[in-house]
Amino acid sequence: MRILIIEDEPKMQMGLKDNLEFEGYEVDSSNNGEDGLKKILENKFDLILLDVMLPKLSGFDVCRKTREQKIATPIILLTAKGEEIDKIIGLEIGADDYVTKPFSLRELLARIKAVLRRAEKSVGVSGIVMIGRTEVNFASYNAFEEGISVQMSHKEFELLKYLYNNRNQTVNRDDLLKNVWGDIFTTSRTIDNFIVKLRQKIETDPNNPKVILTVHGIGYKLIAMQ
């Protein structure tokens, strides 16, 4: 497991690095936002510990730009006391969790483990999951059914991924609008049309869906074993 620490306080950075290495993690570190972002874009990490107040590029900007590049690596923000209000913003810009300084090592390790577990559950370490009979790779945006490529648009992948991350539970249309489309101009009719298209691609019988179920009056539910 590779962790990137982006933290400008040398003591803090060293302390984290030593402790995480002691716990068996492979650790890389950076002391400003610009360099940190460069490392994120050029390497593959399993988790990022990201300080909020950083020189050159703030932690929020690093987080936002990482997600803009469709990099889903879990991010835990390190916020300072008094930045309470920023925590919410942090989660809204795509961070997975946060800890407030000063934090105990035990607390941080527990958060790291929880976030890694969640990430593993969400798309698998490789990014490849089975949805119905379709093998979907959310890391490279490819899908195959019995070796034959299934063509899907970027938006279809994103919709499928959101449903998969919330598999076996009902997802309402408002959640889809907010989290997949991110705007208020899309109508729920658009979502329904996308679902029809997705079903044509992954269901054995699109008229009798077994993978993406309709939950009447609410939304949809994706059924998956993994």
Q: Using CB under 5 A as the criterion, which residues of the chain lie in contact with Ca ion when the complex forms? A: 8, 51, 53
Q: Which residue has the tokens 């049309």?
A: 193
CB nearer to Ca ion: pick between 33 and 132:
33
CA distance 215 to 53: 44
CB nearer to Ca ion: pick between 8 and 192:
8
| Residue at shortest CB range from Ca ion | 53
> Nearest approach, Cβ of 50 to Ca ion (angstroms)?
10
CB nearer to Ca ion: pick between 12 and 109:
12
> Nearest approach, Cβ of 3 to Ca ion (angstroms)?
17
CA distance 136 to 116: 21
Q: Which runs of consecutive H residues, i.e. helices, occur in 167-224?
A: 173-176, 188-202
Contact (Cβ atoms closer than 8 angstroms) between residue 93 and residue 101: no
> Nearest approach, Cβ of 8 to Ca ion (angstroms)?
5
> Nearest approach, Cβ of 43 to Ca ion (angstroms)?
22
CB nearer to Ca ion: pick between 9 and 145:
9
CB nearer to Ca ion: pick between 50 and 129:
50
Contact (Cβ atoms closer than 8 angstroms) between residue 131 and residue 191: no
CB nearer to Ca ion: pick between 3 and 129:
3
> Nearest approach, Cβ of 37 to Ca ion (angstroms)?
15
Contact (Cβ atoms closer than 8 angstroms) between residue 46 and residue 116: yes
CB nearer to Ca ion: pick between 19 and 186:
19
CA distance 180 to 27: 32
> Nearest approach, Cβ of 59 to Ca ion (angstroms)?
8
Please work out, in degrees rounded to the nearest 5, the angle formed at the alpha carbon of residue 224 by the alpha carbons of 219 and 226: 140
> Nearest approach, Cβ of 65 to Ca ion (angstroms)?
18
Q: Which residue has the tokens 């979907």?
A: 136
CA distance 125 to 179: 22
Contact (Cβ atoms closer than 8 angstroms) between residue 71 and residue 51: no
Burial of residue 32 (CB within 10 Å: 0-12, 13-18, 19+) is: middle
CA distance 109 to 47: 12
